[in-house]
Structure 1
Amino acid sequence: MTDRNMPFDDPKYFGLPADARIAHQPGMADQLMREIAPLLAADGIDLTNLDDVDLDELNAAMARAIERRNMELITPAGDREAVTILTLYSIVYALDSGTEEQLQKIFASIGPEPTHMRPSAGHLTGVAMETLDKWYTDSSLADSLQHATLAFGYAETRAAAEDLQVLARKGRAFQSYSNLLVSHGGLELARAGAYLIYVSIAAIAAGRQLAVNDALTEFLPNKPLSKEHIDNIPVAPEVEQWIAEEERYEDFRFWLIDHYDDEDADEIYELFIERVLQALEAGLEPDDPHAIHPWLASVQFSLDYQDVMESVHAISSYVAYRVENSIDPSPWLELLESFETGVGEDPLAEQFRGIIDAADKVPMGDRLAAICQLPIVDGLRELGQWLATSKPVTTSQVPRRADIQRLADMIGIQAVGVATKPELQYEPSAFEDLMASSSTAPNPQMPYVPDRTKTYSVQSALEIPELMSWWTALEVLEIIELTASRVKQGPNAEAFIGEDLSLENAEHIAGMWIANVLLHYFDRTHYEAPAAALVINHLTSAMSGAAIPLIEPNPDVDIGVRITNVSYCRSLRYLHDMGLVQIQDGLLHVPATLHRPVVLGLSTAVQQVTELLTDFE
Structure 2
Amino acid sequence: MTDLGLDAPEPPALIAIQQPTGLADEMWREIAPLLADEGITEDSDPTDLPTLQAALDRAIARYNTALFTPTGKARGQAAELLRQVVVSVAAGENVHAARLLDSLGPDPTDAQPVTGAHAAGLAMLLLDNGSTGPAGIPAGLLTGTALPAGHWRGERAATDILALAREGRAHRSVQKLIVRHSGHHVTDGAALALAATVLTWVKRTRTPAADITETRWSAGSRPARDAVSHDETGPAPQPTPLTCQVPGPATAGLRQAAPPSCSHPTRLRHRGTGPCAQRVDVLPGAQ
Query: What is the TM-score of this pair, normalised by structure 1?
Result: 0.33
- What does 1:569-588 correspond to in 2, within 5 Å? none
Structure 1 partner of 2:219: 223
Cα 1:44–1:144 shift into 2, 3 Å: closer
1:199 aligns with 2:196: yes
Structure 2 partner of 1:106: 100
Structure 1 partner of 2:125: 130
Structure 1 partner of 2:177: 180
- The residue type paired with residue 159 of structure 2 is E
Cα 1:5–1:66 shift into 2, 3 Å: farther
- CA deviation vs aligned residue, 1:507-544 (integer Å, no higher than 9, x gap): xxxxxxxxxxxxxxxxxxxxxxxxxxxxxxxxxxxxxx
Cα 1:123–1:152 shift into 2, 3 Å: farther
Structure 2 partner of 1:531: none
Deviation (angstroms), 1:108:
2.1
Structure 2 partner of 1:208: 205
Deviation (angstroms), 1:136:
2.6
- The residue type paired with residue 197 of structure 2 is S
Query: What is the TM-score of this pair, normalised by structure 2?
Result: 0.67
Matches of 2:210 and 2:31, distance apart in 1: 40
Structure 2 partner of 1:33: 28
- CA deviation vs aligned residue, 1:227-261 (integer Å, no higher than 9, x gap): xxx9xx8xxxxxxxxxxxxxxxxxxxxxxxxxxxx
SS of residue in 1 equivalent to 2:90: helix
Matches of 2:205 and 2:95, distance apart in 1: 30
Matches of 2:32 and 2:176, distance apart in 1: 22
Matches of 2:180 and 2:192, distance apart in 1: 18
Bigger relative CO (Cα 8 Å, ≥ 6 apart)? 2
Deviation (angstroms), 1:24:
6.2
Deviation (angstroms), 1:103:
2.0
- CA deviation vs aligned residue, 1:443-468 (integer Å, no higher than 9, x gap): xxxxxxxxxxxxxxxxxxxxxxxxxx
Q: 1:5–1:182: 8 Å Cα contact kept in structure 2?
A: no
Deviation (angstroms), 1:118:
3.5
Structure 1 partner of 2:243: none
Structure 1 partner of 2:282: none
Deviation (angstroms), 1:168:
0.7
Larger Cα Rg: Structure 1 or Structure 2? 1
Q: 1:102–1:283: 8 Å Cα contact kept in structure 2?
A: no
Query: What is the percentage of aligned positions where both structures have the same residue?
Result: 30
Q: 2:143–2:166: 8 Å Cα contact kept in structure 1?
A: no
Deviation (angstroms), 1:71:
0.4
- What does 1:535-554 correspond to in 2, within 5 Å? none
More helix by share: 1
Deviation (angstroms), 1:50:
5.8
Cα 1:5–1:165 shift into 2, 3 Å: farther
Cα 1:101–1:163 shift into 2, 3 Å: closer
Matches of 2:181 and 2:151, distance apart in 1: 12
Deviation (angstroms), 1:114:
2.6
Q: 2:153–2:188: 8 Å Cα contact kept in structure 1?
A: no
- What does 1:83-122 correspond to in 2, within 5 Å? 83-116=77-110, 117-122=112-117
Matches of 1:88 and 1:128, distance apart in 2: 7
Cα 1:145–1:43 shift into 2, 3 Å: closer
Cα 1:69–1:284 shift into 2, 3 Å: closer
Cα 1:121–1:154 shift into 2, 3 Å: farther
Equivalent of 1:4 in 4, 8, 13: 13
Cα 1:23–1:211 shift into 2, 3 Å: same
Gaps of 5+ in 1: 10-21, 234-274, 286-617
- CA deviation vs aligned residue, 1:64-93 (integer Å, no higher than 9, x gap): 000000001011111111110010011112
Gaps of 5+ in 2: 1-11, 231-287
Deviation (angstroms), 1:178:
1.6
Structure 2 partner of 1:80: 74
Matches of 1:23 and 1:62, distance apart in 2: 21
